[in-house]
Amino acid sequence: MNKLNTYFDHALLSSDTTRDDIIRLCHEAEAYALFGIAINPCWVRDARAELDGSNVKIIGVSGFPLSANTTTIKVAEAVQGVEDGADEIDMVANVGWLVAGEYGKVEHEIAAVRRALPHEVPLKVIIETPKLQPDVQIEAVRIIIDAGAQFVKTATGFFGGATVEAVARLKQAAGGMIKVKASGGIRTLADAAAMIHAGADRLGSSASVAIMQELARNSVTEGRTRR
């Protein structure tokens, strides 16, 4: 698993998170050289101050986790996140609209968030694959591409997680035009490896450190075996 650390958005998105938890998350991400941390909007400024001068990226969220905010609120939340120091935004597409086949509304909303952000800020769109039929997942990818976002993301993790089948489906539908982030339920080294093998370009996990520690233990064991 070469450069596994660079796949991880180290996530802490629970409602009872404290500032001390955020500071610890920042230190963990730095210690393991993880790609970034994914946090709720109220903590972005604290994380930015703690990570000043660091290579660790800050991923803010919009419409998280229920997806049912108005478009105006999602846009404002995304813009505020960047102003506070977020390097990327993970927004949740309106799942109810996707389920109902109201694809035009979904595309309009994603495009509105994309237009409001600086062009250099990647926008990742969460579609909650556990709640969508395969054909709707594929249509969601088309919408995300047309709306100008850079990633499709499987799930928030609040209502089910990523599966190998869903990641492979999204990767194929993306056709190289956007990237895929697998998120939700990635707790072991085997989980991470399976998602990457299926086509994930990024992994969202609250177990990033545990997975990196598992990788280190395996490397030590393999080294001893070779001797």
From 9, 87, 124, 153, active-site residue: 153
105 is catalytic: no
From 74, 124, 171, 181, active-site residue: 181
Q: Which residues pair with 126 in a beta bridge?
A: 92, 153
Q: Are 1 and 215 in contact (CB under 8 A)?
A: yes
Distances (CA, A) of 88 to 23, 37, 39, 114, 119: 19, 10, 11, 11, 11
191 is catalytic: no
Distance CA 154, CA 224 (A): 38
87 is catalytic: no
From 9, 74, 87, 90, active-site residue: 90
Q: Contacts for 165-173 with beta carbons within 8 Å, 24 or more apart?
A: 165/198, 166/129, 166/137, 167/195, 167/198, 167/199, 167/200, 168/198, 168/199, 169/134, 169/137, 169/138, 170/129, 170/137, 170/141, 170/199, 171/198, 171/199, 171/200, 172/199, 173/137, 173/138, 173/141, 173/142
Please list the active-site residues: 90, 153, 181
